[in-house]
A and B are shown apart, each in its own frame.
Chain A
Amino acid sequence: QSALTQPASVSGSPGQSITISCTGTSSDVGHYNYLSWYQQHPGKAPKLMIYEVNNRPSGVPDRFSGSKSGNTASLTISGLQADDEADYYCSSYTGIITGLVVFGGGTKLTVL
């Protein structure tokens, strides 16, 4: 099962908005709405930011939003803050035949 495709890096200034894409196939991103996004600061465990494409767990600010179109999902962060600088990973359920879960390669977000 190939990893989902994410840009290696994105950047933005404080207060701006950025979008990170996550491209899969019709067998994963395009087939299931079990699409999640994780934030990971250096040396820390991942933190769930978005689930089921566009839902936020309790405590995640509404500056974080998700969407999906076809085989591509997107994470948008508005009103960028310094603490948003981190690695971001998407993941999709893929079904039991192909190994249940596939992650993206990760995107490094730099807040300028």
Chain B
Amino acid sequence: EVRLVESGGGSVKPGGSLRLSCAASGVSFNKAWITWVRQAPGKGLEWVGRIKSRSEGATTDYAAPVKGRVTISRDDSKETLYLQMNSLKIEDTAVYYCTIGLCSGTKCHYDDAFEIWGQGTMVTVFS
């Protein structure tokens, strides 16, 4: 069974830091491009960023609202993805999901068609 499990969420004051983890199982983790998506309470989904596979340089891309404040990294030996968040703002309050795109036949949708999702982890930034 393919599974993603996020952890590391919690409450933090503005300006603080948190590191979220996303543990994968049942998937070819070393080949996967993995994306973080967040959802503020009562709001819609927002793309946060993505990391490519290590064979493709583990390149990262980030959304403008978080660029410069977050870093996505991966440890393929542990099949775990990380989201390091610094200088947190109140507007970063959200459930954070890690997700992987659908692979159909020989084609994988790395940056769209997010098929596998974790259960999410809640980050609350408040003073």
Contacts and interface: CB of A to CB of B under 8 A. Distances in A.
A106 interface: yes
Contacts of B114: 36, 38, 46, 48, 91
B115 interface: yes
Interface stretch (A13-21, A68-76, A77-85, A93-101): A93-101
Report the 10 A-B pairs with minimum CB-CB distance, sorted nearest first: A51-B113, A45-B117, A34-B112, A101-B47, A106-B44, A103-B45, A93-B112, A48-B115, A105-B44, A99-B63
Interface of A: 1, 3, 34-36, 38, 40, 45-48, 51-52, 55, 57, 89, 91-93, 96, 99-106
B13 interface: no
B111 interface: yes
Given A48-B115, A57-B115, 11 more contacts: A35-B112, A45-B119, A46-B37, A46-B117, A48-B113, A52-B113, A89-B45, A99-B61, A99-B63, A100-B63, A103-B46
Interface in B24-62: 35, 37, 44-47, 50, 61-62
Contacts, number: 75
A34 B44 contact: no
A1 B45 contact: no
A51 B109 contact: yes
Given A99-B63, A99-B64, A103-B47, A45 B113 contact: no
Contacts of B64: 1, 99
